[in-house]
Amino acid sequence: MTEPGALDQGVTRDEWTATVVGHHRLRHDVAVIRLIGEFVPFRAGQSVEIRTAVQPEVRRRLSPALPPSLDGKLEFHVRTVPGGWLSGTLVADTKIGDEWLISAPAGTFHVDPAGDEVVMIAGGTGLAPLRAQILELARAPQPPRTYLFVGGRSPRDLYAADMLVLLAAELPWLTVVPVVERVSDPNWPDEWYEQIRAQVDVGFPADDLLEGTLADVVGAHGAFDHHQVLVCGSPAMTRATVERLVETGTPRGIIQYEGI
C-alpha cells in the first residue's frame, strides 16, 4: 500500500488525488482499475493525465470509463502498450491502496442528448470514453438511438462483452454490434481470460459476431450522414475507420475521432 503523502510533493491545485479500490485483470494485457478520491472536473469522453507513486516521473493519458462523479468514483480500462513506460506496470502491478494523481482533463468528444442518432465505433480500450458517454446519455430524459460498434482481433479481445450485453439489455435505446477480425481465438492460452470465462457466462453469442475490421464492417452500412459519429481506438484503426466512413459518404466534418 502506498504510504499517505507519497505523491504530495509537487501537487498543485490542478491535480486531484484518488486511491485504487479495485484492480481487475481481464486479459493478459488488459485491466480495469477503479478508484475513489477527490472530484475531478472532466467531461464524459475526455482523457486525463495520471501519475502514480510507482513511477511518479512518468505521466500517461487515460480516458475515464465513467462520467464525472461527485463521490469521486473513477474507472480506467488499461491495455499494455508495447514499449510503454507505464501501461504494463498498471496492468500487472497495480495494488489496492495505490495513490494516483489525476490532472489535465482534455478532449472534445461530446454527444448532444437532444441531437441526431449516435454511432460510436470503439477499438479495444477505445471503448472507455464512449462507455462514459453512454452512461451520461442514460441520465437524459429521452436519449437518442445509439449504435455502438465494438471491435477486436478475435472474440476474446472483446474484454467487456459481459458488461456490454447487460448494458444493452438495460438501455432500450442502445444497440451493441460486436466485430472481430477472425471468429476463432488464438491457440495460445490466456490465463486471465480462462479465469473470467469460468466465472461469467454472459457474453456475445457467436452468431452475433460480425467478421471483418471495424472499418470494413462500419463502411458496409453506408453513409451516416444524419448522425453523431465518434471513433476511438488505436491510431491505425482510427485512421482506417475515419477514411472508410468518408469514402462511404459520411461527412468528415461530423466525425469526432481520437487515437489511444
pLDDT digits (tens, 9 = 90+) for 140-149: 999 999 999 9
How much is the pLDDT for 4? 43
In the structure, what pLDDT confidence band is assigned to residue 9 with cuts at 50, 70 and 90? Answer: low
DSSP code for 102: E
**H or E, element range at 220:** none
**Predicted model pTM:** 0.92
Q: What is the distance between the alpha carbons of residues 243 and 239, in angstroms, rounded to a whole number? A: 6
Query: Does residue 245 sit in the same domain as residue 155?
Result: yes
Q: Are residue 70 and residue 189 in the same domain, yes or no?
A: no
Same-domain check for residues 130 and 251: yes
CA 240 vs. chain centroid, Å, equals 19
User: 126 with 47, same domain?
Assistant: no
In this prediction, residue 237 carries a pLDDT of: 96
Do residues 247 and 195 share a domain? yes
* Position 100 in a domain: yes
Q: Are 109 and 230 within 8 A, CB to CB?
A: yes
| Dihedral over Cα of 176, 177, 181, 184: its sign | positive
Domain assignment of residue 5, yes or no: no
Domain assignment present for residue 6? The answer is no
The three cell numbers locating residue 7 = 505523491
Whether 19 shows a pLDDT value over 70: the answer reads yes
pLDDT tens profile 73-119: 999 999 998 777 789 999 999 999 999 999 999 999 999 999 999 99
Whether residue 82 is contained in a domain is answered as yes
What's the rounded mean pLDDT across residues 5-31? 81
Band (2; pLDDT cuts 50, 70, 90): very low
CA distance 20 to 203: 27
CATH of the domain at 29: 2.40.30.10
Pair (72, 131) in one structural domain = no
How many Å apart are CA 47 and CA 168, to the nearest integer? Answer: 24
- Please choose, from the candidates 122, 127, 117, 99, the residue with its C-alpha nearest in 3D space to the C-alpha of residue 17: 99
How many other C-beta atoms lie within 10 A of the C-beta of residue 34?
17
Does residue 185 share a domain with residue 96? no
Q: Which of 257, 249, 179 is nearest to 214 (CA)?
A: 179
Rounded CA separation 47/178 (Å): 24
Residue 149 sits in the same domain as residue 96:
no
161 and 59 housed in the same domain: no
d(CA 241, CA 218): 8
Domain span including residue 221: 117-259
Asked if residue 148 lies in contact with residue 174, where contact means CB atoms within 8 angstroms, the answer is: yes
Q: How many domains does the chain have?
A: 2
